[in-house]
Amino acid sequence: MKIRLLLILFLVLSKGAFSKKIASGYWHTTLHLNDSTDLPVTFMVEKERKDYHIFVINAAEKIELQQVDRTRDSITLRFPAFRSELKCKILNKKEVEGFWYNYAKGSDYRIPFIAKKGDQSRFPILTQSIDVSGQWEVTFDYNGKPEKALGIFSPLKTHGANNQQQMVQGTFLTETGDYRFLEGVTSNDSLNLSTFDGSHAFLFQSKLVNDTLWGQFYSGNHYHVNWHAVRNEHFELTDPDSLTYIVNQRPLTLSLPNLNNEIYSYPNASGQGKVTLIQIMGTWCPNCLDESRYLKEKKSTYGNQLQIISVAFEMPETLAGRIEKVQSFQQDLDLDFTFLIGGKASKKEALKQFPMLNEVISFPTLIFIDKTGDIRKIHTGFNGPGTGQYYKDFVTKTDKFIESLIQE
């Protein structure tokens, strides 16, 4: 009899019957970067019968976290595609604390956080606000080396937040990619923005002085630079199709391990008569994630007429570790690409595999090859859906170019 009771108790506990519950709705979450700086982000909890669906919200981006472990008062949540997770302790129905672990930066890289049930506003909203809508010419001071960017901001209309006229969305475009979906507010003379996607935790703080935004940029708890910006509706970055180019006539050939740890060679007979896109990428790179989603659509459209070869440069030291990471990425996104392991995550290592290029400036870099094997275009970086109209223009232009190669 005692054994039966113990068995019933074990089964009840294993199903989480006595697990602490958490409230549905928006949660205000802060990552504690240092003693004086917190990065706010919005979580959302949706309850469906006995199950919870937990999301990270960044403006138009909604990332569902995967529950990989649950006990009575704790839960571990994994970000899809990235080697990143949240280990949470449930304090009560409306309060959770824990750590964000980003294993791509090392096994000991972690940032503490606390989450409380609340509204969707990330930053304090005061009575006055400034108008930052439009385009800004931005300069980041990377260790005394200035780098230009294009800031684009617009109003963000959301549900569940007060003073919506002060809520802002936007991003920064650079020549190597964008800073993805940023969300924040304008209050008094300040503009504050943040994003958290499992790979990056970005915080942008700034104040408007005369006609210039003066600010600070934090990337996690490991990186911090100054930046400033002025309005400039005519500012443009260098054309991403002109940054990377061929400097010698060495043919593009590859001989690298695939995900079965078998050597795959390019070119080969299976690719004859097909348009080929070669993607230089890394699974740790959010811009590569955005580009992979776009390429997935093209592969779905053209099927066997288009082959996509993704050459991955990864963080793990061992080949087995790199293969495991890329396999997880491919499965999470359901990608029908050929994946090859190029080496460690380094632009210098990438250039060794592509010595015909002037340099590898960015992950990702996309090489367009026609049916005869000639390189027709090289696109550096990727400015994705977070850039709004810029992304739409890229899609229109690139769709037409791929279609023209298919029709030749």
Average pLDDT estimate for 163-191: 89
Distance CA 155, CA 224 (A): 26
Question: Taking 70 as the threshold, does the pLDDT of residue 8 lie above it?
Answer: no
- The mean pLDDT value for 311-315 works out to 96
Read off the pLDDT of each residue in 160-166 and give the average, rounded to a whole number.
59
Mean pLDDT, the chain, whole residue set: 91
> For position 369, what pLDDT does the model report?
97
- What would the pLDDT profile of 213-249 be if each residue is shown by its tens digit? 999 999 999 999 999 999 999 999 999 999 999 999 8
- Same domain as 300, residue 267: yes
User: 157 lies in a domain?
Assistant: yes
- Clarify whether residues 213 and 260 are in a common domain: no
Terminal CA-CA length for the chain: 78
pTM of the prediction?
0.90
Domain span at 84: 17-117
Q: Are residues 175 and 315 in the same domain?
A: no
CB atoms within 10 A of CB 332: 16
Instruction: Please give the average per-residue pLDDT across 32-60, as a whole number.
Output: 91
255: Cβ–Cβ under 8 A, 6 or more apart, which residues?
Answer: 263, 264, 265, 266
User: Is the confidence at residue 7, as pLDDT, over 80?
Assistant: no
Residues 54 and 103 reside in one and the same domain: yes
Quick check: 86 and 113 in contact, CB under 8 A? Answer: yes
Q: Is residue 6 part of a domain?
A: no
Shared-domain flag, residues 309 and 382: yes
CATH number at residue 62: 2.40.128.120
Q: Are residues 258 and 403 in the same domain?
A: yes
| Claim to verify: residue 383 and residue 262 sit in the same structural domain | yes
What's the domain count of the chain? 3
